Structure formats: C-alpha cells, structure tokens
C-alpha cells in the first residue's frame, strides 16, 4: 500500500514518522530499538499486534495500534489517503482513560431448559464440567436414563431474572422425575411457583426468549434446537463459563443529578424507555442501573439530559478529544471534505476489512472511528464533529440491529434541525444499515459534501457530558455558516424554555421545589418565580407538579441562554400582616381567599371584623381569635345524612302530589 510519510508528518507535527516494508518480520529490530528508547509508540498495524506486544515486553513506553491498511491504504483511493492516515495515527495517540470493572462469579450451576431428548443429551455433554439440572417443558415419552448423572425435572419457566452467577427462575407445573420409571420417564405431583437459582441458563426450548435483548444477557445461552451447529456452539461456550469474570462498568451514574421523579411524581423517563435489557429500574427520586445486567448499548447515557448517566468506555470528553485530534490532523495534512464513519469493531470493523480486501476500500475522505457501541453516540459528539470541520457523519449498523436503536434515531432527529438551522444543510447525519461491504462502499461514495471549506474550531473538551455538550453546541454555533439565536427542536429535546400562563399562576412555588436542576428558582424575601433556560432539561417535573396546570414545555435551543440572566416569570407584592407587619404570603392570594370567605363561611358571618384574621400572620391570627374568645367548635350542626328511606319517601310524596 502507498505510504505518504510527508502527509502524515504534516498532520502529526510532533511525531517522528518512520516507514518500513516488513516491520513485523525482518525489521523487528527497529521496533525493539524504538521501544527500548522509552518513547510512546503508535504502530500502523493491528494484524500483528500480539507479536508487537510480546516484543515490547515490560518497556515503559505506551504502545498503541491503528489499522491504516484496511482503513486507508487498501483502497482504489489509497494514493490520496495520506491525510486520513495522519488522522488515524493522531487519534490512536490520544490516551484512553481506564474504566471500572464489574466482577461476576459462576460456580458452574447450570439449568438446561429444553423440550425433548436433546436437552438431556446436552446435559450429558456438559455434566463433566458443570453442575447440571435438566428441565423439560411438556415432556412426552422420554427414555429413562440407565444411570442418573444429573436430575431431570419437568416444568415451564414462568419468569426469569438475574445474570451470570445469579439467576432466579420461577417454574410452574414443576415435578421431579421418578427413579422407578420403566417404559417412559414418569414424574411426581406437579406444583406451581417453584424457584430455581443457578449460575447459567442454557435454553434449548425453542420458545420465546426468557429475557429482553436475550443475546446481551451474560450467562443466558439460547440456541434454536433445530440447528445442530448452533446447539454445539452453545454447548462449547457453556463449558467455559465457570470461574470469575470481569466486564466493563459501562455507565457511571450519579443519582443526585437524576431528574426521574420528585415527591412520587414522574418526570424524565428517557433512559427507562430506551434500555433494551431492563437494567434500569425506578428507585425513588432517581433510577438504578444494574451494572451486571447492563450490556453497554449506551442509549441511556446518550439520552440523559442532566449527565447523571455517563458512558465510561470512553467518557464523552475523551471521545471528543479523539475526534478533535483526528480532524485537526486530517486538515493539517491537506485533507478535504472529511466524513466521520462511526462503527463498532465486531460488525463495522469486519465489514470495512472485507471492503478493503475484496472491494474498492473506503473513500479517502471517509475517516472511520471505532467505538464500543454505535448507540453510545450522543448529540455532543455529532455537534463536535461538525464544529471540528467534518462535513458529514455516518453510523454503520447491522441490517438487523441486535437491539432497539430508538436512542440513536432520536439523536439524529435532534441533530438535523440544529444543523439545518445553522446553515449546514440537511441530510448530513444518517445511518447505514447493511451487512454487505459493497453496499457500504456504494453508500459512502454517494455522499457529496458541500464544496466550501469548513471552518474548524480548536476547543479542548473537558468535563462531564452536559458540560461538553454545551461547549460543543456553542462552538458549532460559532463555526456555523448562518448562525441564528434560537432553533425550535422536536419534543423530547433536552433543551428548551417554559410557557407559563402567568395570569393563572398563584406563585405556590411547588414547581421550584420539584425542579431537579435549579432552572426554576424563587427569592426568600419576595414572592417571585425565576427561570434559567440554560439549566432546563425539559424533564417535565414542573409541568406535572403544578397544581394549576399552567406550565407548558417549549423545546428549543437558545444559544444566548448560557450567558443570559435568570428571567422573571412572575412577581407579586407580598402580603403583610395588618397587625405586626410581617410578610407571610402573596397579597393577591390572601385577598382572593378573603373575598371567598367573607359572609359565606360560618366563621365569618357574625362579626364584620373577623375576616381581618385572614390578613394576619399565623401568630397574630391565634392572638386575635383568643382575644375574641372565638369557639372553634361553635359550628352549626351538620344536616342529618340522607338515606335511601329519605329518597324513597320523597319519591312517594312526589307521586301522590
């Protein structure tokens, strides 16, 4: 493949660029010499990464790898791929922060759930490695075993929960097999509600999966019983699932930032509605994320408006720094019209490899960026890509995604009006859903970016998700071809203002106590309601809490909001006690209550001055009523309750008359 060392040098100005023809074989001494110098090394090869890691040994320099062959060099546009190689090297040199781990332990207790002899045969193959129990649903004419190596029972799994090392199954029609079975396996008296606890579940029943997004549930292995090859692969996989296993803790969650609910009133449900595995559940005022069940799709983090849920593999600011390094190097190496292609390694990496080996390869202006899950990308990454100079963003997905991609679709639907409103045009952010490398190549070559050279921001993203999102949108606005101050957004957007019917607002301030971000605020000295748009995440708690139902959400993006002062929605004169002068409420509300009670309620009918107690503070009200020797129990007798006899008597009297 062609290697344009000059272009790579222009993009990676601080690096020492050296090219080789056979670094992994006849020229390994050069690699060892470079590692012995203690420098940080980036090798443009992933195929021989294990060999280079072995040669590096315990040297202190940081060693990174990047695939410039399939991603850039092996292409019919490979001669023009020097700037893209510079971008790939620069991105690979960005440090990746460590992420926390979750530990799960499996002792090898496995339940095989099947429908016939196949489940028993699978148990025989696994009995030497695992502690097996076979559960048969609706068994018929099963041959009794000559030797009982493991228990066989019948039953139907009603519900299942848990994960690798901690499954809990509820079984109906459960009964154990009889050891005296002769011609066919017989079972005892069945019962419902039996509970089974196990480390693994091997599902060969052929029925509906026991879990949502079942292929993402660690420890739950399912195969079509009609596919012998799939069953064999499943058995081989199950044999190795004994011991201690580590998986990434994909989501860092800060409960204090969560805007799920307040005072048992539900506001934000974005993460609950998007999680494909059911790992997120309500937990009072916030949600709880089960790290053992979480499969790392990242949709909760992409949708979370407050930053309570943040993706950790990598964090949002680390991903944006990689984007910055990539596009900065690309344009400094004299690249043109960059398009970012987000892809995962399992599907996207294999598809790009196939396109490079057997097709025309990627276009020279398409820069692939490998991430853990496509659905982890949020609005902050899309905004940053265009702010840094990208003219297009594509997401490479499977033709049939493993789980719902509604979160990514909402991200694109949110990005489109922002880009269009700022003059970038429409259609620059889209998904490519294919398993065919040739169709991938056609889709990428069909992208026609704008002819004008982009303006490139150079800001360094640092901080949490909400902070880097604000920063990216601000820089996107600064670099936009036609910036505007306010852009209307679709429902569900994490930015916006409030539409309050001021004339009906009583300044009860229940919305202030419910607001989780402080967007709504009051003043301890005066009856006033203020709103800070930059802090509003459109969770809807204020709307749901308001007793007068006068608050409405208006999703929009106002680029002036970060620097704007809090807006006063309503302010009224305070009510002061007519006896001591202490402020104790809102004057209009007090007068409205007084007008409704005066002469209408039994407490205020006999004395013309008694209504004045409504205009007093709580302390003075008690003093005034005691001075008047008011009897709080002096209410007139209540009318006798009406019974059925009363209604019947009135009906008879009416009939007679």
Give yes or no for residue 236 having a pLDDT over 80.
yes
Q: Are 367 and 388 in contact (CB under 8 A)?
A: no
Q: Is the same domain home to 155 and 265?
A: no
pLDDT score of 606: 64
User: Distance between CA 271 and CA 449 in Å, rounded?
Assistant: 34
Q: Is the same domain home to 184 and 305?
A: no
Q: Is the same domain home to 42 and 78?
A: yes
User: Distance between CA 200 and CA 190 in Å, rounded?
Assistant: 24
Q: Are 173 and 156 in contact (CB under 8 A)?
A: yes
Instruction: Please give the order of strands across the beta sheet that includes 194-198.
Output: 194-198, 166-176, 152-163, 131-136, 109-114, 200-203, 220-222
- Digit-coded pLDDT (tens) for 373-425: 999 999 999 999 999 999 999 999 999 999 999 999 999 999 999 999 999 99
Give yes or no for residue 607 having a pLDDT over 70.
no
Q: Is the same domain home to 501 and 399?
A: no
Is residue 227 assigned to a domain? yes
pLDDT score of 336: 94
Residues 6+ apart with CB under 8 A from 411: 302, 303, 377, 378, 379, 382
User: Distance between CA 557 and CA 484 in Å, rounded?
Assistant: 10
Average pLDDT on 267-277 reads: 96
CB atoms closer than 10 angstroms to residue 453: 11
Tell me 57's DSSP state.
T
Domain boundary among 229, 244, 259: 244
CB atoms closer than 10 angstroms to residue 494: 24
Average pLDDT on 561-572 reads: 94
Average pLDDT on 220-247 reads: 96
Q: Is the same domain home to 272 and 325?
A: no
Domain boundary among 219, 244, 269: 244
Q: Is the same domain home to 337 and 469?
A: yes
CB neighbour class for 459 (10 Å; exposed up to 12, middle 13-18, buried from 19): middle
Q: Are 531 and 520 in contact (CB under 8 A)?
A: yes
- Digit-coded pLDDT (tens) for 502-513: 999 999 999 999
pLDDT band at residue 611 under the 50/70/90 scheme: confident
User: Distance between CA 409 and CA 318 in Å, rounded?
Assistant: 23
Q: Is the same domain home to 500 and 548?
A: yes
Give backbone dihedrals phi and psi of 184, rounded to 5 degrees, phi first: -140, 155
Q: Report the domain count for the chain.
A: 4
Tell me the average pLDDT of the chain.
94
Is residue 277 assigned to a domain? yes
Q: Which of 534, 553, 533, 532 is nearest to 542 (CA)?
A: 553
Q: What is the DSSP string of 376-415?
A: G--HHHHHHHHHTT-SEEEEEE-SS-SS--HHHHHHHHHH
* Local structure of 266: helix, strand or coil: strand
Give yes or no for residue 645 having a pLDDT over 70.
yes
Q: Is the dihedral of CA 308, 311, 316, 318 positive or negative?
A: positive
642 Cα distance to chain centroid? 58
User: Do the strands 429-433 and 392-397 form a parallel or antiparallel pair, or are they unpaired?
Assistant: parallel
Give the CATH number, domain containing residue 300.
Answer: 3.30.70.20
DSSP tally for the chain: helices H, then strands E: 19, 29
Is residue 612 assigned to a domain? no
Average pLDDT on 592-597 reads: 86
Q: Are 295 and 280 in contact (CB under 8 A)?
A: no
User: Do the strands 486-488 and 551-558 form a parallel or antiparallel pair, or are they unpaired?
Assistant: antiparallel
User: Distance between CA 21 and CA 24 in Å, rounded?
Assistant: 9
pLDDT score of 210: 97
Give yes or no for residue 296 having a pLDDT over 90.
yes
Q: Is the same domain home to 240 and 319?
A: no
- Digit-coded pLDDT (tens) for 117-126: 999 999 999 9
pLDDT score of 512: 96
Is residue 589 assigned to a domain? no
CB atoms closer than 10 angstroms to residue 648: 10
Q: Is the same domain home to 465 and 330?
A: yes
Q: Are 240 and 295 in contact (CB under 8 A)?
A: no
Domain that residue 171 falls in: 103-244
Q: Is the same domain home to 199 and 121?
A: yes
User: Distance between CA 314 and CA 93 in Å, rounded?
Assistant: 15
pLDDT score of 353: 97
Q: Is the same domain home to 74 and 117?
A: no
User: Distance between CA 395 and CA 574 in Å, rounded?
Assistant: 56
Residues 6+ apart with CB under 8 A from 4: 79, 81, 82, 85
User: Distance between CA 43 and CA 29 in Å, rounded?
Assistant: 14
Give the CATH number, domain containing residue 122.
Answer: 3.50.50.60
pLDDT score of 570: 95
Query: What is the percent of the chain where pLDDT is above 90?
Result: 85
Give yes or no for residue 638 having a pLDDT over 90.
no
Average pLDDT on 576-593 reads: 90
Q: Is the same domain home to 469 and 518?
A: no
3-state secondary structure 116-183: CHHHHHHHHHHCCCCEEEEEECCCCCCCCCCCCCCCEEEEEEEEEEEECCEEEEEEEEEEEECCCCCC
Per DSSP, what are the bridge partners of residue 168? 161, 197
Domain boundary among 212, 244, 276: 244
Q: Which of 140, 110, 106, 137 is nearest to 122 (CA)?
A: 110
């Amino acid at each position: 493949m062609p290697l344009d060392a000059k272009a790579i040098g222009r993009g990676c100005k601080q690096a020492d660029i050296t090219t080789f023809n056979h670094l992994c074989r006849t020229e390994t001494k050069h690699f060892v010499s470079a590692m012995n110098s203690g420098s940080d090394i980036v090798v443009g090869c992933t195929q021989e990464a294990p060999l280079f890691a072995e040669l590096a040994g315990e040297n202190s320099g940081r060693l990174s790898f990047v695939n410039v062959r399939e991603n850039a060099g092996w292409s019919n546009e490979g001669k023009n791929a020097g700037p893209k190689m510079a971008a790939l090297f620069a991105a690979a040199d960005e440090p990746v922060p460590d992420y926390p781990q979750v530990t799960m332990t499996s002792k090898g207790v496995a339940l095989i759930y099947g429908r016939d002899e196949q489940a028993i045969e699978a148990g025989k193959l696994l009995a030497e490695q695992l502690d097996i129990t076979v559960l048969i649903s609706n068994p018929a004419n099963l041959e009794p075993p000559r030797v009982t190596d493991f228990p066989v029972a019948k039953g139907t799994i009603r519900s299942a929960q848990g994960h690798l090392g901690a499954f809990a199954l509820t079984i109906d029609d459960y009964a154990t097999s009889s050891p005296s079975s002769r011609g066919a396996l017989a079972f005892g008296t069945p019962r419902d509600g039996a509970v089974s606890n196990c480390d693994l579940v091997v599902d060969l029943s052929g029925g509906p999966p026991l879990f949502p997004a079942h292929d993402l549930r660690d420890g739950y292995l399912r195969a079509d019983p009609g596919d012998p090859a799939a069953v064999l692969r499943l058995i081989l996989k199950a044999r190795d699932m004994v011991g201690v296993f580590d998986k990434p803790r994909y989501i860092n969650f800060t409960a204090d930032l969560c805007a799920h609910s307040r005072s048992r009133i539900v506001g934000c449900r974005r993460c609950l509605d998007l999680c494909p595995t059911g790992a997120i559940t309500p937990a009072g005022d916030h949600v709880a994320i089960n790290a053992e069940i979480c499969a790392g799709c990242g949709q909760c983090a992409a949708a979370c408006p407050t930053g309570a849920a943040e993706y950790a593999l990598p964090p949002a600011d680390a991903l944006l720094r990689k984007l910055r390094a990539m596009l900065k190097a690309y344009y400094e190496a004299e690249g043109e019209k960059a398009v970012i292609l987000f892809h995962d390694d399992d599907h996207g990496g294999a598809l790009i490899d196939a396109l490079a080996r057997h097709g025309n390869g990627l276009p020279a202006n398409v820069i692939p960026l490998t991430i853990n899950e496509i659905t982890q990308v949020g609005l902050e990454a899309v905004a940053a890509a265009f702010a840094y100079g990208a003219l297009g963003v594509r997401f490479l997905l499977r033709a049939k995604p493993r789980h719902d991609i509604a979160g990514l679709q909402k991200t694109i639907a949110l990005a489109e009006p922002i880009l269009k409103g700022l003059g970038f045009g429409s259609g620059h952010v889209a998904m490519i859903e294919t398993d065919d490398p040739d169709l991938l190549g056609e889709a990428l070559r069909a992208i026609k970016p704008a002819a004008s050279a982009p303006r490139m921001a150079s800001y360094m993203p640092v901080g949490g998700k909400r902070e880097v999102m604000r920063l990216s949108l601000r820089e996107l606005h600064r670099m936009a071809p036609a910036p505007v101050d306010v852009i209307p957004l679709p429902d569900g957007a994490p930015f916006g203002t409030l539409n309050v019917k001021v004339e009906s607002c009583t300044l009860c301030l229940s919305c202030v106590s419910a607001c989780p971000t402080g967007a709504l605020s009051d003043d301890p000295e005066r009856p006033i309601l203020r709103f800070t748009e930059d802090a509003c995440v459109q969770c809807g708690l204020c709307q749901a809490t308001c007793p007068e139902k006068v608050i409405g959400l208006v999703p929009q993006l106002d680029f002036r909001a970060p620097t704007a002062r809090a807006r006063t929605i309503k302010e009224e004169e305070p009510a002061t006690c007519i006896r001591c002068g202490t402020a104790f409420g809102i004057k209009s509300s007090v007068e409205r209550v007084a007008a409704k009670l005066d002469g209408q309620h039994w407490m205020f009918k006999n004395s013309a001055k008694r209504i004045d107690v409504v205009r007093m503070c709580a302390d003075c009200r008690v003093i005034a009523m005691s001075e008047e020797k008011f009897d709080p129990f002096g209410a007139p007798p209540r009318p006798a309750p009406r019974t059925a006899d009363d209604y019947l008597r009135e009906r008879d009297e009416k009939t007679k008359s």
